[in-house]
Amino acid sequence: MGLRIKILGPWELTAGGDVLPLTGSRRIGLLTRLALSAGRVVTTDQLLADVWGESGAATAPKQLHIVVSKLREFLAPRALDEVIVTAPGGYCLDVPPDHVDAHLFMRLVREARACRARREIVTADRLFRQALALWRGEALAGMSAEWAQIEATRLAEERFTALEDHVELRMAAGHHHTVIAGLTVHIEAHPLRERPHAQLMLALYRAGRSSEALGVYQDARRVMIQELGIEPGAELRRLQRAILARDPVLDLTAPAQDATLGDAVAPAELPADTRAFTARDVELAWLDKALTGPGAGTSAIVAIGGPGGIGKSALAVHLAHAVADRYTDGVLYIDLHGATDGLRPLSPLEALGRLLRSLGLDGSAVPTTVDEAAARYRSLTSARNVLIILDNALDTRQVRPLIPAGPGCAVVITSRQVLTSLDGASQLNLPGLDPSDSTALLARISGPGRVHAEPEAAGRIVRLCGGLPLALRIAAARLAARPDWTLSYLADRLADATRRLDTLEYADLAVRAGIAVSLYHLKEEPSGQDAAHLFALLGLLDTPTHTPAATAALADRPERMVEATLDRLLDARLLEPAGPGRYRMHDLVRLYAHEQAGDIVQESDRVAATRRALHHYLATARTASLLLDPISPIVRNLRADQPGLHLDTPQEAIDWIELERDNLIAVARQATTRTDDPGTVEGLAASLNRPFSHRGWLTDLAEIHHQALQVAVHAGDWAGQARGHNQLGSIHKNQGRLERAVEQFERALVCWDRAGLPQRKAGTLHNLGTTYGKLGRFGDALATQDEATATAGGLRAYQAMILNGRAAVLIRMGRLDDAIDASRQSLEIWAEFDNPLGEATATDTLADAYRRAGRLDEAEAEYRRSASLHHKAGARALEAVTLWGLGDALHDLGRQDEARQCWHRSARILRDVHLLTEEELEVLLAQDLPLPPDPVKHLSAGAR
């Protein structure tokens, strides 16, 4: 929370209402000296002169630097930004001046005098009272340095003058009776000040106590002669003569304002703060700073936004309790019922009526139109210092008339809606709690001992609640109410998606109800029924995010219309932003949307909508795959019900795959649940094979192919099983699990035969042959490659692929001339196709052969060409393999620095595609002559 420095009395430093235990005379002195010039630079020389004084040791500048560092270290956990800022020639305390009570006092006094000059007596009286109430004793009490004493004397004079100005104001309003006691005390403490003597004389005279008034004069004269040896000043002497003559000029015939001045009762309407409030330190610091930095002449306004249950109201109330003491005219709180189950939102007129009555306006005097009530509200708040909490707002239209006019006011608004159209409001979009803070909240309510005893179960509960404070509070409340429940039992109940929302209901708390009210208000708006229907349809998809294109396929509507509806759901906080043109649902909101789909969408429509969305992804993945590998017959023969996105280049395909990775995994997984549609599962697996392999996402790809294989087995599809075993074998091979790869390839061959598709065995035989080569079974490898060539017949692309595999085996056998010849033949065939990937792979193998043969210059040229082709094809993992080979060739050429650069580039790519961990990367980069990492050895067609 924002720091507060109090020097109008015993020195005190606070943050969020808590006193901070700063010690050390020089630390306190330095911070105080900077505070007196808050927002302005104090030179190093001035600080040394004031705080170090006559000690002036040669080490003083270094000591100053150390003290500043220690202060920064002490203040850092309590402030959002750096508080002590280094500036040219010195330092600056970067806090709002009002965070230092002395500056706040001076501002309030200036405003009071300005109001008095405008004859706004009530407002001036209130401001004087606020200013004087800041004093808790002598300024800078306990600080004996010369500069501190000078400042204390200056501030004391400002205090006495303000007090006497206030007395004069009150007397002008006819309150001469009420000032007598205070003036008497003031004079006893400061008997040589003539002005309060004059004020007391006049007050007593107007109260009908003339003799006492003249006695005050005699007392003042005696003290001044004794202490100073002089007579009272001209003003006191004239006043004495006027009292003796009962001069009518002393009478107050027309008070400055017909009003009763005094201590108004400040409203304090805040709900109780919750003892379970947890974390949010960053948000609290941001809010505190936003509240203290409004533009000139305007109220500070902050809007806290977020979905239901995220903790907006709890944060606003906790903040208000922490800062309430700086709003001397009180705190107003109103629940606008913008998202309260079973209650309609308050109208602006109803809300204004409540606020006006809280400000002291009699009920019968409250205007009956919005414009008149808003004008009266602005008038009453124009010179007040009040904090207003507008909780649970529906939208901007509801809150705009409730914004006060005065610069001393502050407003905190909470709403599920995005209130960006509210002028001057600072916006805070409240996120969910992170796992650590979520666990702390769970422990605070249910008991730390239970969480400590079952940390894994606590982690499951936290994950299933998705960082939503409301859900965590309900889960914890259930545990607190049921001591016999273990955390594991509750976690198991929450893990059942069909029961999760039921489990997250307790007493008057319910996640389901919180989501339902947003949907209810949405339905009441124009086109709200369409948005509610789309919300239910989105519950049919398991994708982590939603795009307008995929949603348009899901809803069978134009993308332009769907995008506007998605934005409406975003405004209602039923969706969250997930990047440009992308939306997400909280897991608990998704469960509610799924419930809604079951309630309002016919089963046949649910089936059709889901298929349209899956086929949108299938069609686009097919396009991306063919851009990266144009010769794939399996992918080319795929058909989809939807057109999918239009992609033109391999780079566009790569970009789309990168953005949609998680969604593609999700739709592939969801497709396996549709037992009546095995073709979609197989199509997605086939179309994702090349793009995912290019990026090195082998673990994800293995899961997809395993799911597709299970579907094919269930459907009795031998060709599908063959493809599944073949692709799983390739993944095992690329991960170095060679024996398991052989097993999968052999199963694939059997399935091809059972499917009656012997020619399709060529690709599997090629894969099996290269795997035999890596195992050192060279005879089996060459025989299998020969069989693959015979099976491929006239399929030229297969011939090029098999020749390249044969070259890789020959390299391992040491038959380098034969390997070079086979690689060149492969490249000649690839030249007939526009296939950068095939050409890149063959070129890499040729480079390996050249390097093994000692033809290093030729090897370097081919490695560079292969790396460029792999990059063009988007095959990042294979690009890394080639770069490692280039590094080896450069090392052999004696170009060590260039070699190291290539190895490092290769390793960083492997880290980026998650084939190396950060720790493994660090180990590699630390080695002068690194050995090739496992991904390079496994993915290399030739030999590394």
The answer to whether the beta carbons of residues 504 and 588 sit under 8 Å apart is: yes
Task: Look at residues 270, 204, 194, 191 and name the one whose alpha carbon lies nearest to residue 237.
Answer: 194
d(CA 766, CA 785): 6
**Widest Cα–Cα separation across the chain:** 135
Locate 395 and state its tokens.
């939208």
Partners of 449 in the beta sheet?
none
Region of 472 please: left (phi>0), alpha (psi -120 to 50) or beta.
alpha
Can you give the pLDDT at residue 533? 93
CB environment 21-40: b (16+ within 10 A), e (fewer): eeeeebbbbbbbbbbbbbee
Per DSSP, 133 falls in state H
Q: Report strand pairing: 300-305 vs 410-415.
A: parallel
- SS3 at position 411: strand
Per DSSP, 115 falls in state H
d(CA 893, CA 598): 68
CB environment 733-763: b (16+ within 10 A), e (fewer): bbbeebebbbebbebbbebbeebeeeebbbb
The answer to whether the beta carbons of residues 308 and 417 sit under 8 Å apart is: no
pLDDT < 70: residue spans in the chain: 1-2, 16-18, 54-58, 78-81, 253-265, 293-297, 342, 361-365, 508, 526-527, 675, 942-944
d(CA 628, CA 636): 12
State the pTM of this model: 0.64
Q: Taking the CB of residue 812, how many other CB atoms lie within 10 A of it?
A: 19
What are the angstrom distances between the C-alpha of 478 and each of 481, 502, 506? 5, 12, 7
The answer to whether the beta carbons of residues 457 and 491 sit under 8 Å apart is: yes
Can you give the pLDDT at residue 293? 63
CA dihedral 318, 319, 322, 326 (to 10 degrees): -140
Locate 714 and state its tokens.
């269930």
The answer to whether the beta carbons of residues 671 and 681 sit under 8 Å apart is: yes
Locate 142 and state its tokens.
């306990």
Locate 659 and state its tokens.
């953005």
Contacts 24+ apart (CB under 8 A), 268-274: 268/324, 268/330, 268/331, 269/330, 269/331, 269/332, 269/333, 269/334, 269/358, 270/317, 270/320, 270/321, 270/324, 270/331, 270/333, 270/389, 271/317, 271/333, 273/317, 273/318, 273/321, 274/314, 274/317, 274/318
Alpha helices in 814-855 (DSSP H): 816-830, 836-852
Partners of 18 in the beta sheet?
15
Can you give the pLDDT at residue 1? 46
Locate 723 and state its tokens.
């493809």
Region of 644 please: left (phi>0), alpha (psi -120 to 50) or beta.
left
d(CA 819, CA 798): 18
- What amino acid is encoded at 905 in this protein? R
Partners of 41 in the beta sheet?
92
Task: Look at residues 683, 704, 775, 678 and name the one whose alpha carbon lies nearest to residue 733.
Answer: 775
